[in-house]
Amino acid sequence: MLYNTLRRALLGALAALACSGAAEAAPSFTAEETVFFSRTSSMSVQSVVTVPGGFRMYVTSGPYRVLSATCTDQVAWGLESGIRLTTSVVANDVSSITYLSVVASTAVGGGWRMYYVGIDAGGLYRVLSATSTDGLAWGKEQGTRLQNNGGQGFIGSLSGFSVSNTERRLYYVADRDGLNNASRYAVFVATSGDGGLNFGPGTLALSANAYAVSATTMTSGKTRIYYTSPLTGSTTASQVLSATASDGLSFTSESDVRLSTTASVSGFRGLVVLRSTDSFRWRMYTDYIIGGTTETFISHALTRTPVVESFSPAAVDKGRTGVPYTLTGEIFSPTPTVSFVLGASTYNATTVVRADDTSLSGVFDTLNRYQGVYNVAVVNADGRPGFLSNALEIRLPPGSVTMLDNLFRPTKGGTTKATVELFEAGEVTARLYTVDGNLVATLFQGTMPAGQTQFTWNGRTPAGSVVASGVYLLNVVGPNLNTTERVVVVK
């Protein structure tokens, strides 16, 4: 009963973000069912890796042990027996093991390298490492991989990152002042050129206040880091934000929130983001302690709603067919639908070609469509839509007036002919003026259909008199049409 009550509280706390409905610059996450439940307040998710037949999750359990769990679907996790890593009696991690990250080893035989934060008896922080051929039995490596301010400075969450066969990056949270002030925690990055054994000095990657970090590779090749962060004036990491970098070193924050909690949840601790099993979405693992309890939930969330970032062309004339378009964004499933929405009017693109989860193209038409500014929607195969507001304008093409025999002799039976072409039916007025602006005659006034309409003038006034020789001006006003043509009368 307690488990069900707490689980409902957690999912309720996370549901608010999923209902926001606002278009975002990066995908938001929707809270899913709890992964597994622990009766200790110290279990925290740290790293998830792909293994043959599925996935393995590494968690810290208290300050002394690293445990693991496996699954085939990223959802139904089961704890594995045994301890993956623990503190040593006399070593740099004798006090505790706090954070860790597992990445593929560059060794000839393959395997894994685990980076972990060890604290020694004197309270100094170090990033240490261990290796394993099977991900279960780990052996600690000698030496220190990374320190902050000689070990005096706090080092927190780790996220190992493979750049190439030999280059590794380590994203981590540290105090910008080299001490242990949570309000000064930020994301740093260090690089190794020898497979991840020796790292250069860490540099500031993102100055925003961050408590945990997880690095991912976007389809575009950019690096995106997700990080937990407190609200202004708070010390609880109640939101997950994100930032991107083309070089993986200097990041720019993205707008909006990826996931958030409410006051009933103590906040995010561990954070891991990876590709979901369907490859076009992302899955996030986090752990929480429900407020007022000591119960830990390791929960997960999924990016379900597509994000539309750009659409081209921005404007097209009404009446065209086979108009090519390109559309960029994220979380595009196989076989999505591209739709154009104007009020209650919606129609679909003629074709949709999916290059990958971030790029769509195809053709659409504007024949018999309402003119106006449309929102563009991508609707995934599961029916979830993402919108880009005011993305496409369908314009009414300008009308035209073509004159024939506009120099004529009315006394000899001549006439001038005007052909009006419209792309939409509507009210049209054609009036003839002298060059000094006096009205001579109204040649047409009424509804004119789309297409071409012709009318003539025989050079006479409405009373039947032939006008004087000279230059006259024919002004035609109609749907997207306001033009003036010259007419010359010779007696």
- Shared-domain flag, residues 288 and 357: no
Instruction: Return the pLDDT at 263.
Output: 65
Within this chain, do residues 210 and 270 fall inside the same structural domain, yes or no? yes
Report the pLDDT value the prediction gives residue 4, as an integer from 0 to 100.
43
Do both 77 and 222 map to the same domain?
Answer: yes
Grade residue 415 by pLDDT with cuts at 50, 70 and 90: very high
What pLDDT was estimated at residue 11?
40
**Spatial contact of 444 and 478, defined as CB atoms under 8 Å apart:** no
356, pLDDT greater than 70: yes
Give this prediction's pTM.
0.83
Query: Are 126 and 266 in the same domain?
Result: yes
Q: For position 464, what pLDDT does the model report?
A: 92
Residues 211, 180: one domain? yes
* pLDDT-wise least confident of 246-255, 264-273, 439-448, 469-478: 264-273
Any idea what the CATH number is for the domain that residue 173 is in? 2.115.10.20
According to the model, what pLDDT value does residue 264 have?
Answer: 67
> 271 in helix, strand or coil?
strand
Per-residue pLDDT of 81-120, as tens digits, reads: 999 999 998 789 999 999 999 999 988 778 999 999 999 9
CA gap 209, 236 in Å, rounded = 11
Opening angle at CA 357, ends 354 and 363, nearest 5: 25
Q: Which residue has the tokens 């008199």?
A: 465
Burial-class residue 238 by CB neighbours within 10 Å (0-12, 13-18, 19+). Answer: buried
127 strand-pairing partners? 117, 146
Judge if 171 and 243 occupy the same domain.
Answer: yes
- The pLDDT value recorded for residue 414 is 93
In whole angstroms, give the CA distance from residue 40 to residue 296. 6
pLDDT digits (tens, 9 = 90+) for 121-155: 999 999 999 999 999 999 999 999 999 999 999 99
pLDDT digits (tens, 9 = 90+) for 57-80: 999 988 899 999 999 999 999 999
Same domain, 274 and 408: no
Same domain, 258 and 134: yes
Same-domain pairing of 222 and 97: yes
Q: Give the count of domains, the chain.
A: 3
Question: How long a stretch of residues is the chain?
Answer: 491
pLDDT at 321 exceeding the cut of 60: yes
Of 342, 360, 395, which closes a domain?
Answer: 395
DSSP 331-381: -PPSS-EEEEEETTEEEE-S--EEEETTEEEEEE--TTPPPEEEEEEEE-T
- Check: CB of residue 113 under 8 Å from CB of residue 105: yes
Share of the chain above pLDDT 90, in %: 80
Rg (Cα) of the chain, in Å, rounded? Answer: 34
Query: Cβ of 120: how many Cβ atoms within 10 Å?
Result: 18
Q: Single out the residue in 395, 429, 456 at which a domain terminates.
A: 395
Statement to judge: residues 316 and 278 lie in one domain: no
Long-range contacts of 397-405 (CB under 8 A, 24+ apart): 397/317, 397/318, 397/319, 397/423, 397/480, 398/480, 398/481, 399/423, 399/478, 399/479, 399/480, 399/481, 399/483, 400/481, 400/483, 401/474, 401/476, 401/481, 401/483, 401/485, 403/474, 403/485, 403/486, 403/487
Say whether pLDDT at 442 is over 70.
yes
The pLDDT-based confidence of 2 (bands split at 50, 70, 90) is very low
Domain membership of residue 362 as a residue range? 307-395
Is the same domain home to 84 and 177? yes
Q: Give Dmax over CA atoms of the chain in angstroms.
A: 119
Domain end, chosen from 302, 318, 335, is at 302
Q: DSSP label at 142?
A: S
Measuring CA to CA, which residue among 421, 485, 478, 477 is closest to residue 457? 485
Residue 236 shares a structural domain with residue 281: yes
- CATH number of the structural domain spanning residue 390: 2.60.40.10
